[in-house]
């Protein structure tokens, strides 16, 4: 570090000493970190850490191969092969699976004005706001088949919406599940007056007479979403609904202005007070699927108001039982009204090199934060005979 450079001020266990943009960050142990272990030894134990820019799939590949020490494995398409590799006695890495906290869902846009381009969009939004339409879509989805299209085996499980089943706030009795029932889905759509009036196999909307076509935004980078989208297109086609794919680079960014009718993405919810703006209309800036119009107003549905009230109860109470009951209310209202249409959910795994000690196997991969923040990194250590050479030997964190 040049003598005239001002070092970064940190309170954490490591100080960045080398940063190559979009490539590499090297961190050095902070000698002034405020924590010690129970014997009074200075934390953190590890002297050097580094992070490389990679992709979800590549970081799993690197960890399984032993060329990386730590990775969240959250792409179900990699699960089977990664498990085969890690079960070998000489595998350099072990996989610690947690509860089912990864969940995928279809989101419909409930705004009556925001992102509405024409009369067809306007009529779509009216149907989106009708519970029977949303329930019909749910009945049209064979979630078992969707799960198997992503990863063979027991990894994928049907998801109703709301809290993931791995959440401590999930309650089975408060969860309403609308299973695959194509006959019921067709009957419900017929009852709404959405019928195939021109005989082309696609239902027509009664107001405009247009084919029932729904654009679905997907993230082109995510293979799991792509596989699900392919299955959903076929399933909704059997119910007389045509789905038109709209690929984007980053769905969380592309959806922020609410300019979409439907999208599919992974958006788990484990704790009611974490990233709540992705899930409930607790502010004018969220969620993406129900933003205010240009005049700043929006017409919340009654059950949305009730869910926000339940959330406010969780924020205001010190009573754990009262908070849990409020979470049950959110789960019941969410799933009963098919607020989002859940597809599947899956566990994630923490891949840790066997050299690393003190990575507790019971740490949830994504509950309060992702696993690298949940395992208490400053207590990780490696036996001396298994330590690797440092990338910057002799470098210290300067102040």
**Cα(226)–Cα(317) distance, integer angstroms:** 41
Q: What is the reported pLDDT for 372?
A: 72
pLDDT at 1 over 70: no
Three-class SS state of 296: coil
The pLDDT of 63-90, averaged and rounded, is: 85
Q: What are the boundaries of each domain within the chain?
A: 14-96+350-386, 101-346
Instruction: Calculate the CA dihedral of residues 223, 227, 230, 235 and round it to 10 degrees.
Output: -150
- Of 312, 317, 346, the C-alpha closest to 329 is 312
The pLDDT of 16-39, averaged and rounded, is: 89
- Of 242, 122, 131, 243, the C-alpha closest to 188 is 131
User: For residue range 171-198, what is the model confidence (pLDDT) as tens digits?
Assistant: 999 999 999 999 999 999 999 999 999 9
pLDDT at 374 over 80: no
**165 dihedral zone (left: phi>0; alpha: psi -120 to 50; beta):** alpha
pLDDT band at 63 (very low <50, low <70, confident <90, very high): confident
How buried is residue 67: exposed, middle or buried, by Cβ count under 10 Å (0-12/13-18/19+)? Answer: exposed
pLDDT band at 399 (very low <50, low <70, confident <90, very high): low
* Helix intervals (H) in the chain: 56-65, 79-86, 119-128, 131-139, 143-150, 182-191, 223-238, 251-254, 302-316, 320-336, 371-374
- CB neighbourhood size of 42 (10 A): 15
Question: Which secondary-structure segment (H or E) carries 265?
Answer: strand 262-266
Q: What is the reported pLDDT for 59?
A: 84
Instruction: Calculate the CA dihedral of residues 86, 157, 140, 217 and round it to 10 degrees.
Output: -60
User: For residue range 213-269, what is the model confidence (pLDDT) as tens digits?
Assistant: 999 999 998 889 999 999 999 999 999 999 999 999 999 999 999 999 999 999 989
Q: What is the reported pLDDT for 173?
A: 97
**Cα(98)–Cα(370) distance, integer angstroms:** 12
Q: What is the reported pLDDT for 380?
A: 93
Q: What is the reported pLDDT for 172?
A: 96
CATH code of the region 101-346: 3.10.105.10
> Which residue is it, tokens 């005979």?
385
pTM of the entire predicted model:
0.89
Mean pLDDT of the chain: 91
pLDDT at 287 over 70: yes
pLDDT at 310 over 70: yes
**Cα(68)–Cα(80) distance, integer angstroms:** 19
**Cα(50)–Cα(393) distance, integer angstroms:** 13
**Cα(119)–Cα(293) distance, integer angstroms:** 16
What is 14-96+350-386's CATH topology? D-Maltodextrin-Binding Protein; domain 2 (3.40.190)
User: For residue range 293-303, what is the model confidence (pLDDT) as tens digits?
Assistant: 888 899 999 99
pLDDT at 97 over 90: no
User: For residue range 41-53, what is the model confidence (pLDDT) as tens digits?
Assistant: 999 999 999 988 8
């Amino acid at each position: 570090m040049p003598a005239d450079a001002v070092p970064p001020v940190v309170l954490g266990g490591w100080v960045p000493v080398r940063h190559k943009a979009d490539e590499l960050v090297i961190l050095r142990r902070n000698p002034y970190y405020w924590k010690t272990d129970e014997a009074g030894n200075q934390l953190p134990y590890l002297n050097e850490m580094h992070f490389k820019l990679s992709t979800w799939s590549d970081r799993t590949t690197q960890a399984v191969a032993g060329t990386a020490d730590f990775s969240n494995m959250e792409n179900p398409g990699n699960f089977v092969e990664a498990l085969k590799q890690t079960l070998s006695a000489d595998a350099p890495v072990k996989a610690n699976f947690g509860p089912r906290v990864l969940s995928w869902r279809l989101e419909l846009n409930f705004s009556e004005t925001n992102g509405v381009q024409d009369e067809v969009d306007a009529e779509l939004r009216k149907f989106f706001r009708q519970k029977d339409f949303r329930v019909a879509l749910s009945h049209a989805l064979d979630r078992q088949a969707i799960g198997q299209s992503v990863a063979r085996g027991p990894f994928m499980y049907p998801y109703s919406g709301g809290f993931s089943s791995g959440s401590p706030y999930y309650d089975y009795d408060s969860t309403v599940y609308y299973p695959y029932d194509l006959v019921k889905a067709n009957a419900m759509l017929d009852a709404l007056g959405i019928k195939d009036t021109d005989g082309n196999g696609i239902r027509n909307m009664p107001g405009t007479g247009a084919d029932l076509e729904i654009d679905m935004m997907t993230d082109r980078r995510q293979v799991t979403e792509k596989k699900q989208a392919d299955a959903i297109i076929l399933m909704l086609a059997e119910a007389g609904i045509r789905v038109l794919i709209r690929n984007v680079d980053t769905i969380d960014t592309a959806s922020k202005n609410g300019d979409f009718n439907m999208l599919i993405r992974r958006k788990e919810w484990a704790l009611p007070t974490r990233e709540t703006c992705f899930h409930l209309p607790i502010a004018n800036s969220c969620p993406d699927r129900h933003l205010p119009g240009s005049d700043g107003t929006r017409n919340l549905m009654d059950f949305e108001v009730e869910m926000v009230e339940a959330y406010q109860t969780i924020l205001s109470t010190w009573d754990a039982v009262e908070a849990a009951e409020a979470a049950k209310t959110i789960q019941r209202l969410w799933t009963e009204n098919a607020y989002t249409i859940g597809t599947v959910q899956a566990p994630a795994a923490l891949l840790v090199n066997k050299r690393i000690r003190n990575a507790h196997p019971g740490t949830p991969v994504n509950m309060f934060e992702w696993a690298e923040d949940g395992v208490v990194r400053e207590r990780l250590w490696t036996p001396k005979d298994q330590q690797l050479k440092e990338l910057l030997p002799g470098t210290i964190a300067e102040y």
